[in-house]
Amino acid sequence: MTIYIESMKMYLKSLLEYKKSFIMSFISQFFVFFTYYFMIIALFDKFDNIKGYTKYEVLLCFSIIQFGYSLIEIFGRGIDQFDKLIIRGEFDRLLLRPKNILLQVLCTDFDLIKIPRILQSIIILIISLVKLQTNLDIYKITTLVLMLLSSAILFLSIFILMASYCFITVQGLEVRNLFTDGGKHMAQYPISIFNKTFIFIFTFIIPYAFVNYYPLLYIIGKTTNKLYIISPLITFLYLIPALLSFKWGIKKYTSVGS
C-alpha cells in the first residue's frame, strides 16, 4: 500500500499547485451533489410515498449508494479510466513493473475533489436515521456498516469488470455508464419499486438489492429476519469474478500496437 499512499500524496500536491482552482472545484461539488438530493425532495413534494417507502427511507437508501459510489470514484479513479491507459499505450509500461498490476492501475489517477460527496452522504445518512427515529442496536449498526462497505465493494467490482471489458473492445464505450452511473441512479431508490425485469437484473446479475433493499428492510423495521443483516456480504463474493476477469484480460492482452 506504500506505493498507493505515495501516489495519492503526489496527486494532492499537484492539485494544491493551483489552490484557487482546487478550492473552487471542491466547493462546486457541494452544489453538484445537492442537485441529486433536491430531485428526491422535489419528488416527495408531489407524493407521500413511493410504493410504501417514505422520503427519509429513500434518502437513507440514496446516502448508502452515493457513499459507495463516491468512495470508489475518488480512490478508484484509475480503474474507471482504464480504457485511456490502453489507448495511450501506458498499460504496456505498467506490465514491465514488478508490482501488482491492479494496484498500479488504481495509483494512476484519483479524484480527491469529490471528497465533499462522501461527507454529504454521511450527513444525509445521519439526518435520515434521526427522522426515521431508528433505534440503533448492535444489529442495525452492523447492518449499516455492512451496507456502506458493500456499496463501495460493489462499485469497485463493477469498475473492474468494465476495465476487463476494455481488453476486448479497447474503449469502454457507453456500456460502462449503463452499469455505473445508470446503475447508481436506479439503486438510490429501493429496488422493489421497479418492474420484475429490473429487479431480477439488479438482484442476480448486479446485486444492488443486497446493498440497498434487503438490509434496508431490516434497518427500517419491515423485517426481523437476521439473515438480512449479512445479506450485503453477497457483494464481496461478486468481487471474485471481477478480479478473475481482470486477470484473464491481462493474460489475453497483446498490446494495442504502435
Q: Is residue 120 part of a domain?
A: yes
The verdict on residue 17 lying in a domain is no
At 67 the pLDDT is 94
Q: What is the pLDDT of residue 140?
A: 94
Q: How many residues does the chain have?
A: 258
What is residue 85's predicted lDDT score, i.e. its pLDDT? Answer: 86
Rounded CA-CA distance 207/205 in Å is 6
Residue 89: which region, alpha, beta or left (left: phi > 0; alpha: psi -120 to 50)? left
In a domain, 122, yes or no: yes
Residue 232 lies in a domain: yes
Give the Cα-Cα-Cα angle 156, 14, 91 (nearest 5 degrees). 50
Q: What is the mean pLDDT of each run of 10 residues along the chain (258 residues)?
A: 80 78 78 78 82 90 92 88 84 86 88 87 93 91 95 93 83 67 81 87 89 92 92 93 92 74
| Per-residue model confidence (pLDDT) at position 89 | 83
The predicted pLDDT at position 257 comes to 60
Rounded-to-integer distance, Cα 78 and Cα 75, Å: 8
Per DSSP, what are the bridge partners of residue 50?
A: 53
Beta pairing partners, 53: 50
Q: Which among 211, 223, 182 is positioned nearest to 61, based on CA atoms? A: 211
**20's grid cell:** 484557487
Residue 16 lies in a domain: no
Q: Which domain holds residue 99?
A: 2-10+24-40+53-252
Handedness of CA 5, 208, 213, 116 (dihedral sign): positive
pLDDT score for 78: 86
Other beta carbons less than 10 A from residue 219's beta carbon: 25
Residue 47 placed within a domain: no
Within a domain: residue 19? no
Contact 74, 112 (CB under 8 A): yes
Count of structural domains, the chain: 1
